[in-house]
Amino acid sequence: MHESTDPMHWTAKNTAFSRTLSIEFNGKRIHKSGPLLMGIINITPDSFYPGSRFQEAHSILAQVEKMLNEGADIIDIGAFSTRPGAAEVSEADELKRIIPKLRMILSYFPDAFLSVDTYRSAVAQQAIQAGANMINDISGGSFDPHMPQLIGSLNVPFILMHIHGRPQTMQKNPLQKDQVVDSVRSFFEFQQKLFEQKGAQQLIFDPGFGFGKTVDANYTLLSSLHRLRSGDYPLLVGVSRKSMIYKTLKTTTTEALNGSTVLHTLAVMGGADILRVHDVREAAEVLRLCHNFATNLYESPIYKPTPKT
């Protein structure tokens, strides 16, 4: 982030639109200026948002096609729910769910850049062998001690997310707003060193909105994205339809699209490099509008520094 002591001097350089992301694996590469969109597909019966659940082959393929057509750069596939209180799924069952669906998707969409949402290194390894291009770990490598070695040895793109506790218990003693930024920063710094020592070079950091944080703590994180950067690595924001929206608005996940759009706008203007979303078309519209706003604001003489005489 480039900051100025003048509170009225804000430029487009402060946003993700000025950065170009490059990630690659398994012969596929994303090289793009501006934020990326990651579409969520949960092949589970119990994810927190019913609209993201897809189990039948035809519905999975239809949703992948829809998301790609609407502008998704990455498709993120999850085989078990990590919502608060969700039931544990065995490694064997996770593999039975994810590997056949992953291969099926690639058979119809061979150019798709696919991420697999898992914290188990054995599942990650088999997913990579089946053609996955990225691993998304809600524990940031802290639940499975073998994950850093796997990611480092292959240098596969890796989303390193912060979580406070475990999915089954994380909201029983969540982080408070005065704790959350330092806790996330410390975790990122520690895990970054660990993964880099193993050879990882394509890390992506996710603050873990909703994972062991109070509602207020989530908003503190969202307003502090510039403080959460770890090196030059990209920052991912996943707030789509989460409790920080529907609890604040006293509504439900199915009625949280408008709130998601508002927070996606704030995240992008705050510097998020990747948005992980349920609703790709609406998020793509956020990116187009924010890009135009940032560009024109930067060009406006009102926000340019006054030349010294």
Map out the domains of the chain as residue ranges. 12-300
Tell me if 237 sits within 8 A of 207, measured CB to CB: yes
Judged against a pLDDT cut of 90, whether residue 7 lies above it is answered with: no
Average pLDDT, the chain: 88
Q: Which of 168 and 26 is assigned the larger pLDDT?
A: 26
- Looking up tokens 């992980």 gives 276
For the stretch 54-86, pLDDT in tens is 668 888 999 999 999 999 999 999 888 776 666
pLDDT attached to residue 45: 66
Cα-Cα-Cα-Cα torsion 128, 129, 133, 134, nearest 10 degrees, comes to 0
Highest mean pLDDT, choosing among 43-47, 172-176, 180-184? 180-184
SS3 content of the chain, % helix, strand, coil (to 5): 45, 15, 40
pLDDT band at 8 (very low <50, low <70, confident <90, very high): very low
pLDDT attached to residue 79: 84
CA-based nearest residue to 151, from 114, 110, 192, 185? 192
Amino acid occupying residue 204: I
Judged against a pLDDT cut of 60, whether residue 279 lies above it is answered with: yes
Instruction: Kindly report the number of other CB atoms within 10 A of residue 187's CB atom.
Output: 21
Judged against a pLDDT cut of 50, whether residue 4 lies above it is answered with: no
> What number is the average pLDDT over the span 184-190?
97
Q: Which of 16 and 250 is assigned the larger pLDDT?
A: 250
Q: Which of 151 and 11 is assigned the larger pLDDT?
A: 151
Judged against a pLDDT cut of 70, whether residue 197 lies above it is answered with: yes
pTM, entire model: 0.89
CA-based nearest residue to 8, from 269, 293, 304, 267? 304
Contacts of 44 (CB under 8 A, 6+ apart): 53, 55, 78, 79, 80, 81, 97
- Looking up tokens 């790609």 gives 68
Residues in the chain: 309
Q: Measured at the alpha carbon of residue 144, what is the angle toward residues 140 and 149, in degrees to the nearest 5?
A: 80
Active-site positions read 242, 276
pLDDT attached to residue 80: 80
Task: Give the burial string for 205-239 (b: 16+ CB within 10 Å, else e).
Answer: bbbbbbbbbbbebbbbbbebbeebbbeebbbbbbb
Q: What is the CATH number of domain 12-300?
A: 3.20.20.20
Here the tokens at position 99 are 């590997």
Judged against a pLDDT cut of 60, whether residue 176 lies above it is answered with: yes
